[in-house]
Amino acid sequence: MRACAVIAEFNPFHNGHQYLLKTARKTSQADVMIVIMSGNFVQRGEPALINKWERAAVALQSGADLVVEMPTEYAVAAARDFAQAGVQIAQWLRADALAFGCETPGLDFQAQSRLLDRTFSEQDYNQSFASQLFAESSLSRSNDILGVNYAYWQLRLAPKLTLLPVERLQAGHLDQEIKGTIASATAIRQSIQRNDAQYQQAVPDRMKKVLERQKPVDWQAFWPFLEYRLKTTSAKELRQIRGINEGIENRILAQAAQSSSFMELMTNLKTKRYSYTSLQRKLTAILLNLRVLSPLQKTRLLAVNAQGQAYLREHDFREVLMTKVTKADFTASYQLTKRADELYQMVAPYEWGRTPILEKNVKEKTLTKKS
């Protein structure tokens, strides 16, 4: 069986994501679509609007056959480490292709990835640094930069993996308006948070139903926990947190003392040097007490249908895929994700210790003979 992987947040799952899965399956001629998805905290450095199980279920009903989780410490990392984890998991799960949305599908992503050999660290890799890094090539669009990072790790970890860039339709990554049936996740999130109806034209019915029955989560809901962390942590202790360097710990503590909400803190912290996304990642690391990035060990199965189950039976993934999280996993490879999930539970409770979602309907994903 031929497999194509997609690395995603699905925050929330929208029509553009459905188009990506459909196009990737057709172009790669995949029997199985694997989604490597962020959990309850995402790469933009914020809590997911809806918990990971609900998002995995919608993905399974909208074109995916197999949904696995990227561990939290990588899911909230800067592009380089986020991409490394995604490509590594795709390689573990024997994907033949890796599809990703981008603004410039004709770009030579592998050639551009050579720029990443310049010395840089995860701590420095925010949008400002990325702009400097790619200044020579005028490469500045977020998804293109992420694609270059995928190419960097594809060359080093999974050279047999075919990169499959898929052009984004209708809306740019940071577009603020919803003008049609496909919109940016940014615009959709803003519409949901305003509690207006505009987002409904840009998400599939399954996602609409989830959003109707569940209150979306935002950063402000975690403000009391972050505020407590900042009031009980010294500058010296903050310097142990991943991404806290260059003296920003002193600025964070000083501004936190003058802020009464998360958005006020973000406004007070913002400078030309640090983008909102970079700051959010730093604050997420503080909130979750994330320190040194440990080697990636395993991924967790969140959802699978009959097609995906057939694929799993073809291979032995026991060393890298958790279908059930054991006590040993919770104290080792899955410890930080467990911490993040327990905190998320305090704001938006759900069935925490559940087993993977099993969907028996294969629908239009029947196998075909290959010549």
Domain boundaries, the chain: 1-172+295-356, 217-286
**Mean pLDDT on 91-103:** 96
pLDDT at position 142: 81
Q: Is the dihedral of CA 259, 261, 265, 268 positive or negative?
A: negative
Q: Is the confidence at residue 366, as pLDDT, over 60? A: no
**Mean pLDDT on 339-355:** 92
178/153 Cα distance (integer angstroms): 34
pLDDT at position 127: 45
Summarize the annotated binding site as residue ranges.
7-20, 101, 143, 168
| Class of the domain covering 1-172+295-356 | alpha beta
Average pLDDT score over the chain: 90
pLDDT at position 119: 45
The distance of Cα 116 from the centroid of its chain, to the nearest Å, equals: 21
The overall longest dimension of the chain from CA atoms, in Å, is 67
Tens-place pLDDT, residues 192-225 = 999 899 999 999 999 999 999 999 999 999 999 9
Q: Does the pTM of the predicted model rise above 0.75?
A: yes
**Mean pLDDT on 268-280:** 90
Tens-place pLDDT, residues 167-200 = 988 655 556 789 889 999 999 999 999 989 999 9
193/213 Cα distance (integer angstroms): 15
- What amino acid occupies position 11? N
pLDDT at position 122: 42
Comparing CA positions, the residue from 4, 47, 55 lying closest to residue 25 is 4
Summarize the annotated binding site for ATP as residue ranges.
7-20, 101, 143, 168
DSSP category for residue 349? -
Q: Is the confidence at residue 365, as pLDDT, over 50? A: no
